[in-house]
Structure 1
């Protein structure tokens, strides 16, 4: 058929331009087997990536959920890069499309976090977690990269610490004050936990390099460079606000909910794995982190996360009393 002949001619031109012999590649097609689902997604490898280190069955739930989370983070980063590293200029429509993807990933993560809250036996968790020290979900490098892709470092510094940062501070100096670093200090001494020291040793160069690269082209800066008519595109600002709320209110609240469920005991709370100060670090109203503060009213910023946190605590009252 003419269409087949045309395609063969196109293939011949393609391979000839690369100095390759089309006949050899056609022979390869003759002998090649058909692709299977399990080979395409490396299913056997994927299902062999879970290696519990204790005999407790629910550790498998813990491992798989965290692996799924990291895959969603990878999807999120891929979508953010379509905005911050475009081959062509991004307009409001394209910007909105990729933010919708980001928010769909966060929505899936937030809704599925019930697996962590109610999907494990509490007694099993409190036992196997001791074998995880000093590892912690705090050490998710991908999540820290998402934050750097999202906004300026100035907005990743806790409001209560911003007065400590000089106005002419360099980017590495600002980096030392990022909010999450304050969440991994020992309660008694204020010194960095081993969890934080390990994390910084491995990822500081990557984080600083990424922060330098995206200082002028992160999501917020890319938005500010849009023409005014594009910035006023209602679906875009809606998705930016939703991303902000998902990442800085609902997502940390899911972790807070899980921590209260498993770690809060009267009269003394149980420390989180890695020694992170979860009581102060996780509540959004304590963090006060907002990626895009100019998109929120002063009242909204003052009430940041308070209502959502009260709802979470109210829902957890039976667990706390138990």
Structure 2
């Protein structure tokens, strides 16, 4: 039986079915080059889930938190670069990075929707196997909090048992936050800010400052003149807005699953998370909206 022959659209040589099969096999042979799985280390990622209980739903619990940690890794990558850009007066790339961080928070908000499919009895079946492990102990989350200016030395404590993680968290704790660098930028642009806002102990939490609000008010009252600073203020506001939504969804999901039980890490659970809803990262940017 004669083999069918196919004329390529580009007018090249006619290929037989056998030649096509041989070529396709060659294209599917990744023994001599890097494949998708090789590049992404898929085997390591997909083999990183080790449920401890016999409960079906523990896989959801593990993957929810592992994927959140991956998104937080990207968030820290973007935040760190954005802080460096602001420190160098390179605002356009910083805007892109901060917008990406806000979108990552959106992604994490929707991740809570998936976890919320776990009912209280399903969580109760795995809780005894969790020991004292808790998201409260996430080193990456703590670095995000510190990078955004919510500094609290007590939050170094949960990482004392792991020198490598402690060093990472301490570095974020001791460094200027994103907002600190934004205020230093305002001062470099000639807006009057006292030294206690631009050269201070970065490990101390900031208190709201009338002088800082006045500097931002100057920017917001003349956005055309201070366009890039005005854009920076809005990117920071977008970021805190997204963070607040994530926090609210977090506390709602936890209350839905465990009610007001204490957290596995020793916190008050929902009561602790509700207190976190009151934290304001960039207070002057929110207050100026009333005072404009």
TM interval, short-chain normalised: 0.5 to 0.7
Instruction: Give the alignment partner of residue 222 of structure 1, picking from 166, 181, 202.
Output: 181
Give the C-alpha shift of residue 148 in structure 1.
1.4
State the superposition RMSD in angstroms. Answer: 2.7
Which residue of structure 2 lines up, in the alignment, with residue 260 of structure 1? 255
Q: Which runs of 4+ in 1 moved over 6 A?
A: none
Structure 2 CA distance, aligned partners of 1:123 and 1:60? 15
The answer on 1:239 being equivalent to 2:235 is yes
How many Å separate the matches in 2 of 1:200 and 1:288?
27
Matched, 1:210 2:185: no
Deviation for aligned residue 1:208: 2.9
Matches within 5 A, 1:147-158: 147-151=145-149, 155-156=150-151
Structure 2 unmatched ranges of 5 or more: 1-30, 192-224
1:251 CA drift (Å)? 1.9
Once the two structures are superposed, what CA deviation does each residue of 1:54-104 show, in whole Å capped at 9, x if it has no partner? 011110000001000001100000001112234982433222111001001
Measured after TM superposition, the shift of residue 257 of structure 1 is 1.0
The TM-score with structure 1 as length reference comes to 0.62
Q: CA deviation at 1:205?
A: 4.5
Question: For residues 112-151 of structure 1, what are the structure 2 equivalents within 5 Å?
Answer: 112-118=111-117, 120-151=118-149
Q: Which residue of 2 aligns with 1:294?
A: 284
Counterpart CA distance in 1 for 2:53 and 2:89 is 48
Does the C-alpha gap of structure 1 residues 230 and 63 become closer, same or farther in structure 2, counting only changes over 3 Å?
farther
Using the TM superposition, give the Cα deviation of residue 252 of structure 1 relative to its aligned residue in structure 2, in angstroms: 2.0
CA radius of gyration, larger in: 2
Normalization by structure 2: what TM-score? 0.68
Distance 1:136 1:104, change over 3 A: same
| Cα distance between partner residues in 2 of 1:91 and 1:230 | 15
Rate the CA distance shift 1:149–1:273 in 2: closer, same or farther, 3 A: same
Deviation at 1:132, TM superposition (A): 0.1
Can you list the C-alpha shifts for 1:161-205, whole angstroms capped at 9, x where unaligned? xxxxxxxxxxxxxx23xxxx5xxxxxxxxxxxxxx9653433544
Which range moved further: 220-229 or 93-102?
220-229
The answer to whether residue 130 in structure 2 is matched with residue 201 in structure 1 is no
Q: Is 1:231–1:237's contact at 8 Å kept on the other side of the alignment?
A: no
Structure 1, gaps ≥5 residues long = 1-31, 158-174, 182-195, 301-322
Asked if the contact 2:137–2:265 (Cα under 8 Å) also holds between the matched residues in 1, the reply is no
The 3 A distance-change label for structure 1 pair 197 and 207 is closer
